[in-house]
Structure 1
Amino acid sequence: MSQYRIAVVVGSLRKDSINRQLANAVVRLAPPEFEFRQLQIGDLPLYNQDDDADQAAPVKRLKAEIAAADGVLFVTPEYNRSLPGVLKNAIDNASRPYGHSAWAGKPAGVLGASVGAIGSALAQQHLRNILAYLDMPTLGQPEAFIQVKEGTFDADGNLGEGVRKFLQGWMDRYVDWVKFHAAGR
């Protein structure tokens, strides 16, 4: 039975997203006491402060899923040198109304992949700025800017050997990060 529940937020809606592939592959590197669940963000309404008093059912669902989690793993692509709008919308919806953020205090990890050489570095930096404001302690090192190329994933969606070793080290640090913050509650 899992002892730690991690909410996974993939910043892409595309079914065959390389970031969804990365999320699916990296969670296999975690120890058995960690359970990962990808959260749905594509059905959220655009954030509108007028709705704060009576949030839509998908927003309430998202907030409840985050509240039930011991940590959050963000896996994001980079769109136009920043994070995707759908991810920002999910963050905004779950952080409102002011003073009732579902994100506060949840230890976070940030990953991202791209076919480009900088592997979502700018999107991750923008996301980290937002997470700092939301009071989410975010793993700083190692950073993981994954450039997807031949051999990153095998035919079954597993990580290739070179990137697997690096991401195993990242996952080991994230596991320790979540455990550290869970112990402090």
Structure 2
Amino acid sequence: MSTIKVAVLVGSLRKASINKRLARAVERLAPKEFAFGHVRIDNLPLYDQDFDADYPAEAKRLKREIEAADALLFVTPEYNRGVPGVLKNALDIASRPWGTNSFAGKPGAVIGASIGATGSALAQQHLRNSLVFLDVATLAQPEVFVQFKDDGLIDAEGHVANEGTQKFLQGFVDRYAAWVKQHLK
């Protein structure tokens, strides 16, 4: 089978982000034909409709990277019960100007981690609302809300320390891989 390119958008900019670690864990558990590329979103200008006629270079780069992907993986923390501004800004930029939505028709999934008891459930629902409008076929189940109670749950390379967490994430990855393949037929 040919390579399936997945654009990964992590909504946390923090160097030691638990969401980056969660993304790495998913990557490690995925089938070999899946190639994950983290899309840089920290250097984007704030979306402004004034540049719809002539997008800045970084905004054009973002759109190209999304368009080159076969599938999407959104990994988000929860900030004040919602999606981090940097991730929402990336959605706005890559979906504009009108008629040039780079996300349209791609299969995707939303997962996230937090130190809070609900993982990132509210941010994920907030993000799913936007993705429906952006025409992303989003995997509904299983939902992945990872609570990081201790810093050693997933290391920087994506190794999962807890067997139950690894089994749960493998179940998600297996379903996500099948979802993506189903939509690429």
Cα distance in 1, alignment partners of residues 17 and 157 from structure 2: 15
Matched residue SS, 2:83: coil
Cα distance in 2, alignment partners of residues 50 and 104 from structure 1: 22
Kept after mapping to 2: 8 A contact 1:7/1:72: yes
1:54-73 alignment runs, 5 A limit: 54-73=54-73
Query: How far apart are 1:128 and its partner, in Å?
Result: 0.3
The residue that corresponds to 1:99 in the other structure is: 99
Following TM superposition, where does structure 1 have runs of at least 4 consecutive aligned residues deviating by more than 2 angstroms?
A: 154-157
Unaligned runs of 5+ in 2: none
Query: How far apart are 1:95 and its partner, in Å?
Result: 0.3
Cα distance in 1, alignment partners of residues 69 and 91 from structure 2: 15
* C-alpha RMSD of matched pairs (Å): 1.3
Matched residue SS, 1:66: helix
Query: Would the alpha carbon gap of residues 91 and 182 (structure 1) be closer, same or farther in structure 2, given more than 3 Å must change?
Result: same
The residue that corresponds to 1:166 in the other structure is: 168
Unaligned runs of 5+ in 1: none
Using the size of structure 1 for normalisation, the TM-score is 0.95
Using the size of structure 2 for normalisation, the TM-score is 0.95
Kept after mapping to 2: 8 A contact 1:103/1:134: yes
Cα distance in 1, alignment partners of residues 82 and 171 from structure 2: 26
Aligned identity (percent) is: 63
Kept after mapping to 1: 8 A contact 2:23/2:158: no
The residue that corresponds to 1:115 in the other structure is: 115
1:22-171 alignment runs, 5 A limit: 22-150=22-150, 151-154=152-155, 157-160=158-161, 161-171=163-173
- How many residues matched? 183
